[in-house]
Amino acid sequence: MSDINQIQIVHLDSATIGPSVKLNKPDIPHDWVSFERTLEDEIVSRLKDADVVITNKVAITKEMLAELPKLKMIAISATGYDKIDVKACHDKGIIVSNIRDYAQQTVPEHTFALILALRRSISAYFDDVRQNEWQKSGQFCFFNHPISDLKHSTLGILGSGSIGSEVIKIAEAFGMKVLKSARKGERNIKDGYTSFEDVLKQSDIITLHCPLNNETKDLIALPEFQMMAKKPLLINVSRGGLVNETDLITALDEELIAGAAFDVLTSEPPSDDHIIMKNLDRSNLIVTPHIAWASEQAMQTLWDQLIGHIEHFHHGKPRNTL
C-alpha cells in the first residue's frame, strides 16, 4: 500500500487485551474504530469500510470475506489462527499476520504453576484449610493429599517449538528428565525425539504445546489415556480440542491419570453444563480462564508487535504472514 493513504482499522474484540497495556496506535494516517466484543452477526457490518481488522477470537470466514471487498489485512492479536480462513484470505489477496515469540516466559511459567499446584496438591490443601481441616487435625500438619517432588520425574512435551523449548529449560532446572514427542503416528523418529506412544507410556507429567488443526484435534482421547502406564498429570495450556474433554473425565474417573490442569477449553467461555465445569469439585482438576499468555509484559509485547505489523503492511513490507 502507499504510505500516504488513510486507512480504517477496526478492532473487533478489544476486551481481550488487558487493562495494563499501553494501547499505542500505528504511526500512519488512519481512522481507528474499536469494539470491546463483536458477535457473529455484527462482524460484516462493522467491517464494511475496514481496510485492516484486528481480531483475537472473532472468526473471519470465507462467506464473510465475500462481503468485505475493501478488506486488505487481518492482524491477529494472538499466535493461533484457527479462527481465520487463511486459504480464503490468500485467494482474495488479503494479508494475514499473527503474533509470534511473545509468550516464551508467560506460558511456560503458567505451565509450571499448574504442574506444581497439582504435584504438591496445593489447591486441595488450600481447600482443606478453608474447611478448617488444619484446626481439626490437632497437629502442626496433616496428610490428606499426595505431595511429590519434580526432580527425577519424567516430563513429556507434546510440541517443542519456542514455548515448548522454554518449558524444557525450566524442567531441566528442576532436575527432570524430558521426552520430546514425535508427531502422533510418526515412525521415523528423529534424533532427540521419542515416539508419541512411548512419551505417553513413560511420562509422569505430560504437557501440550501444539496448535489445533485437523491433525491434532482429539490428539489425546481414551485410547491415549489407556496408554499412560504411569498415571501422569496432564497439562493443557495450548488449545481446547487437543484433548477430548469427555474422555478426560472418564480418565479421571477410572484413575488413568493422576490429575489434570487446563487453561483452555473447547468452548470459551464455557456454558454451565460444560462437562469440565460440572467436575470442578475434584481436587485433582484445575481450570484457569485462558490466561497463561496474559502476563502484563507479554501482553505489551503482543500489542507492540501487532501495531508494528500494521505499520509494516501499510508501507508494503508485511511480516509474520501466514
Beta bridge partners of 157: 180, 207
Among 110, 290, 309, 314, which one carries the catalytic annotation? 290
Question: Helix, strand, or coil here: 58?
Answer: coil
For residue 118, CA distances in Å to 43, 115, 148, 181, 189 come to 40, 5, 9, 22, 31
Give the whole-angstrom CA distance, residue 92 versus residue 74: 12
pLDDT score of 317 more than 80: yes
pLDDT tens-digit series, residues 187-230: 899 999 999 999 999 999 999 999 888 899 999 999 999 999 99
Secondary element (H or E) of residue 7:
strand 7-11
Could you identify the residue written with the cell 532436575?
A: 175
**Do 83 and 64 form a contact (C-beta atoms < 8 A)?**
no
Residue 120 annotated to the active site: no
Q: What confidence score (pLDDT) does residue 292 get?
A: 96
Q: Which fold has domain 106-287?
A: Rossmann fold (3.40.50)
> Where are the domains positioned within the chain?
7-102+296-314, 106-287
| 106-287 shares the fold of 7-102+296-314 | yes
CATH number of this structure's domain 7-102+296-314: 3.40.50.720
pLDDT tens-digit series, residues 1-32: 444 578 999 999 999 999 999 999 999 999 99
pTM above 0.85, yes or no: yes
Residue 109 annotated to the active site: no
Beta bridge partners of 31: 8
Residue 315 annotated to the active site: no
Q: What is the mean pLDDT of the chain?
A: 95
pLDDT grade, residue 35 (50/70/90)?
A: very high
Give the whole-angstrom CA distance, residue 219 versus residue 239: 11
Listed in sequence order, the residues at least 6 apart from 15 whose beta carbon sits closer than 8 Å to its beta carbon are 36, 37
Sheet holding 30-34, edge to edge: 30-34, 7-11, 52-55, 73-76, 95-97
pLDDT score of 251 more than 50: yes
pLDDT tens-digit series, residues 50-83: 999 999 999 999 999 999 999 999 999 998 888 9
Secondary element (H or E) of residue 130:
helix 122-130
Among 119, 209, 239, 314, which one carries the catalytic annotation? 239
Please provide the size of the chain in residues: 322
Which residue in 171, 162, 160 sits closest to 205, CA to CA? 171
Residue 292 identity: A
E-strand stretches of 35-123: 52-55, 73-76, 95-97
Among 42, 172, 268, 296, which one carries the catalytic annotation? 268
